[in-house]
Structure 1
Amino acid sequence: MSHAYLPSEEVVRLSDAALEAGLADPVVRTLLFDGIMPKYRGTLPLLAAPGLQVRSDLNAMNRVERLVDGSVPLEVWLRNAVAQTVAADPLAVFQRALDEVARNAAGEPDVPAGPAEGETKEEVVHHDDTVPFEFLQGGALAGLSVARIKVSPYQAGAPLQPNGYPHSGTGWLIAPGLLVTNHHVVNARTRSATELTAVAPDDLRLQARGSRSRFDYGADGTETEEVTASELVAWDEGLDYAILRLSDQLARPALRVATVPLTVDREEPVAVNIIQHPGGLPKRVALRNNLVYETDGDDVRYFTDTRGGSSGSPVFTDDWKVVALHRGTRRVEDVSFQGKTTAFVNVGTQISSVLRHLEHTSPEAHAEITAAQTALAAPAERSRTEVA
């Protein structure tokens, strides 16, 4: 008996979706067959017309139950297609077909035997929230570049007296040796009921140079070495950022940053994760209940949890690229999340706004950061070129 994972009409939908998503390009075909045995790929007929080639490939793979290495070529092709597709409509077609092929390849019955009445095969509930396993490795690597920072207040060139206690925040490496945090963290003043005391520029520089940044401060509470700063490179009170040059050039990577503003579509939720030192305590990561509420040109507003001391934290998308600099919370009305009304959403400054401001006000710092980010992007670009 011949085997087919999908009915012929579904194969037609898949080939149409591939054309819509631009996957019929002969160059992309190599990416779609990544992970499928080369010996099997060599048996597939080669056609001149890209659309016919996709249809031919899909029809052939649909009739192959599995290869000698145990893999299901159609399942592998569909996983690659999902990874290569951005547009929502073709992505939905590929994902639906992948779910069906994966279930059938695993031999799952439509209604499992057993007492659980109404139980059926697995489904994605509302939205697929799974991430690649490498997401965990990426987060661990990103965390190496996040530090707790403590800043002691100065006034008129001398430590503030009385109550000159250090203020805690979070900072991270935007380039080798350059740590970014909030301006209000370096400002090191407690807000009164009506305003935040502004610090004179000379005192602000003194506070930056007296700051102490502790990397690798994890859950075990180990008191790792602190790093001081040599200068305050750039800052802006409105965008609430400050960039400090650390005294030591640390052997740890800078974080990749987004150069364009994050935008969101209510139909396609975006999650953001925050690595932080809340309350000056050991490092924590917020990656549950973490959807973006809304964005504009300068701000990203999100439901991801933070606390005092999280100011200055990097706000990441799931590829561990920083899209915003967390700075605080904002009161809102008529906003609900997970079926409950919330009075607050958290807010961060778009990193693209920080970069744009630096380009005009601190061109040397902007050039240094741009060079570092270009160097970070180069290995990934080389990898994509080698695959293609």
Structure 2
Amino acid sequence: MSEPYLPPDEIVQIKDAALEAGLADPSMRKLLLEGILPRYRGTLPLLAAPGPQVHSDLNEMNKVERLVDSSVPLEIWLRNAVVQSAGITAPLEVFQRALDKVTRNAAGEPDVAPDVPAGETKEEIIFRDDTVPFEFLRGGELAGTAVARIKVPPFQGGAPLQPNGFPHSGTGWLIAPGLLITNHHVINARTRTAAVPRVEVARSDLDLQVRGSRSRFDYLSDETETEEAGGAELVAFDEELDYAIVRLSTPPERPVLRVASEPLRVTPAEPVAVNIIQHPGGLPKRVALRNNLVYEADERDVRYFTDTRGGSSGSPVLTDDWTVVALHRGTRRVEDVSFQGKNTAFVNVGTQMSSVLAHLRDHRPDIHAEITAAQSPSTTRPADTWAQQPEVA
């Protein structure tokens, strides 16, 4: 990458925090590098002194945008450092602050609007365990057939981005037959840096990226090959709402997800649970059924305690009747927020689907009509296979 993720002074702060937390001990290096491709780990220089070794590792990883498996070495190191420094307040804050910045920039997530609280970043794990009726699982299985892992190759000037043009991973889902919705920043397929917080991608390159995208359905493990659909056309998008709709070249024969046309509203007295079907880290499909209460909602956003992480961008945020109420896009750092009697530093955030539909109605009425027509009982999955919930209003 042309610019490092973090400036030199922040790398020094991380190195000092590692020394303070005892992570510079040679025995800790293997734990800090756990999860990074072994072939890349072998290229890192070996030094005799612990402090310089940590500093060298950080400097080398800070130069690498992503590896061939789409992973970001510095992000993995920082996540490991957060785990290993649990309970050591000052170093933990340094690692977490750096992790926020790296994960946000690596995903190309756009800046928050001026009226949105600062600190909105990518995904984090929060807490909560919950139970639901057993039939809920059958509805979730049906809903999951509409969800895919999407990989998008970056292009620049009509050619694959060089030298590190590795695909960006995200999650998408069928909102109508042949139409897959995800985040705009997933389709944008760019890594942010401190020097270049927002990368302009020409519409012609966006179109090439969409045509080069691959959406893999039923990706439950790496053991078997499953259906994969290419992109044909970018039919609608908006950076502020962070959505993009792709027409697939070969429409998969499977039901689409039902979408809420009205915004989700919550009150402290009546919490609402949400669930997310996702491909975190570009890995096989997972579902978050725990830590899943909505924290607050307004006309545009829904904020919730539901576990996600990098690669979950674009996932459907579903109520317990498997209706999509929001398009997941990231995580926001918060203060003085309590969940299950504990303070949490994060809530996840998604765009209300009602806002997406309203934008489509005003700017792409043809696509809005196509989606509306697809929301009939014959197209969405059958309604009698999951636990019914009150209407979203």
Q: TM-score, normalised by structure 1?
A: 0.63
Q: Which residue of 2 aligns with 1:360?
A: 362
1:295 to 294, 297, 305: 297
Q: Which residue of 2 aligns with 1:274?
A: 276
**d(CA) in 2 for partners of 1:221, 1:314:** 25
The 5 Å alignment of 1:45-60 reads none
**d(CA) in 2 for partners of 1:138, 1:191:** 37
Unmatched 5+ stretches in structure 2:
1-129, 385-393
Given that 2:294 and 2:305 are in contact with CA atoms closer than 8 Å, whether structure 1 keeps it comes out as yes
**d(CA) in 2 for partners of 1:140, 1:378:** 10
Runs of 4+ in 1 over 6 A off after TM superposition: none
Given that 2:257 and 2:381 are in contact with CA atoms closer than 8 Å, whether structure 1 keeps it comes out as no
Q: State the Cα distance separating 1:377 from its structure 2 match.
A: 6.8
The 5 Å alignment of 1:41-190 reads 130-190=131-191
Given that 1:314 and 1:325 are in contact with CA atoms closer than 8 Å, whether structure 2 keeps it comes out as yes
Q: State the Cα distance separating 1:225 from its structure 2 match.
A: 3.2
Change (3 A) 1:252 1:264: same
Given that 2:256 and 2:381 are in contact with CA atoms closer than 8 Å, whether structure 1 keeps it comes out as no
Q: State the structure with more CA Rg.
A: 1
Counterpart AA for 1:139: G
**d(CA) in 2 for partners of 1:267, 1:380:** 27
Given that 2:257 and 2:380 are in contact with CA atoms closer than 8 Å, whether structure 1 keeps it comes out as no
**d(CA) in 1 for partners of 2:374, 2:356:** 16
The 5 Å alignment of 1:224-303 reads 224-303=226-305
Q: Secondary structure of the equivalent of 1:328?
A: strand
Q: Which residue of 2 aligns with 1:47?
A: none
Counterpart AA for 1:204: L
The reply to whether residue 312 of structure 1 matches residue 314 of structure 2 is yes
TM-superposition CA deviations, 1:228-282 (whole Å, max 9, x none)? 0110010000000000000112110000000000000111111100000000000
TM-superposition CA deviations, 1:79-110 (whole Å, max 9, x none)? xxxxxxxxxxxxxxxxxxxxxxxxxxxxxxxx
**d(CA) in 2 for partners of 1:193, 1:226:** 35
Q: TM-score, normalised by structure 2?
A: 0.62
Q: Secondary structure of the equivalent of 1:260?
A: coil
Q: Secondary structure of the equivalent of 1:307?
A: coil
Given that 2:229 and 2:251 are in contact with CA atoms closer than 8 Å, whether structure 1 keeps it comes out as no
Change (3 A) 1:378 1:158: closer
**d(CA) in 2 for partners of 1:364, 1:209:** 21
Q: State the Cα distance separating 1:336 from its structure 2 match.
A: 1.5
Greater relative contact order (CA < 8 Å, ≥ 6 in sequence)? 2
Q: Which residue of 2 aligns with 1:112?
A: none
**d(CA) in 2 for partners of 1:377, 1:177:** 13
Q: Secondary structure of the equivalent of 1:366?
A: helix
Q: State the Cα distance separating 1:322 from its structure 2 match.
A: 0.3
**d(CA) in 2 for partners of 1:347, 1:330:** 7
Q: Which residue of 1 aligns with 2:89?
A: none
Given that 1:221 and 1:282 are in contact with CA atoms closer than 8 Å, whether structure 2 keeps it comes out as no
What fraction of aligned residue pairs are identical, expressed as a percent? 76
Given that 2:241 and 2:356 are in contact with CA atoms closer than 8 Å, whether structure 1 keeps it comes out as yes
Q: Secondary structure of the equivalent of 2:258?
A: coil
